[in-house]
Amino acid sequence: MPIEFSLGIIAFITSVIAGVVGFGGGMLLIAILPIFLSPSIIIPIHGATQLASNASRMAFSLSDVKWALLPKFLAGSLIGTLLFGLLLVNMPVDTVPLAIGIYILLNLWSPRFGRFISHYESYYLIGLLQTGLSLVVGATGPLSLSVLTKQLNCKNEIIATSSMFMSISHLVKIPVFGLIGFSLFDHSYLLAMMILGSVAGSFVGTQLRRAADNQRLITIIKLLLTAMAIKMIVAVVLF
């Protein structure tokens, strides 16, 4: 089986997962890509594919997107890209996943912390951190997802709005790929197969999500975020 076709199927499966619960597909995909691709092209291919996955997931749920949050997140994202891109790229970031993991756990399960941090949480700051940190570390999407899960009560609004946020975070990476000399056109067939798989997966995942029980799915999202946060903490502390 050609590598391009295999990765198209894998992109479909991971996009279905993200379409149902809102995250996890991208992390699974980037864990699989080293089996098929050379290290030098993994990040650009992953970024372009995830942009397609998140943008299509948002497109299939446009009526559920909380558009009022877009200007704040976008402004924060642009500042975060400049700040982290210019100042922090060469700084040690080994403990960043630890901080993200602790923040997610407290935000989801500590009412006292939730009340305290709500005075400082803004989508300007979430955009700055999620998009800025995405340039230097992985798994930043759950930052905004944990806040949306706390503030919104509809599974479709949570995932559609999170998809919009993640689309922005991935979109700002595209110019960076050009600056480092990577040409997406040199891998057009591979990208076409993976993007096609991602869009199809977003459609199937969205249909499955709409059929799921609202409160049960929100609980599942919280539990999966919790498991991921614990994994991030353990990975830093033990390794």
Secondary structure percentages of the chain, helix, strand, coil, to 5: 80, 0, 20
Query: Over the stretch 20-78, which tens digit does the pLDDT of each residue have?
Result: 988 888 888 888 888 898 887 887 888 889 999 999 999 999 999 999 999 999 999 99
- Residue 8's closest CA among 194, 201, 191? 194
For residue range 140-176, list pLDDT tens digits in order.
778 888 899 988 999 999 999 999 999 998 888 777 6
More confident residue, 49 or 185: 49
Place of tokens 């709500």: 118
pLDDT at residue number 24: 83
What three-state secondary structure class fits 61?
coil
Helix ranges (H only) for 172-187 are: 173-179
The neighbour count for residue 210, using CB atoms within 10 Å, is 15
Q: CA-to-CA distance for 167 and 170, rounded, in angstroms?
A: 5
By the 8 A CB rule, do 222 and 108 touch? yes
22 neighbors 158 (Cβ within 8 angstroms): yes
Delimit the domains of the chain by residue range: 3-238
Instruction: Tally the residues of the chain.
Output: 239
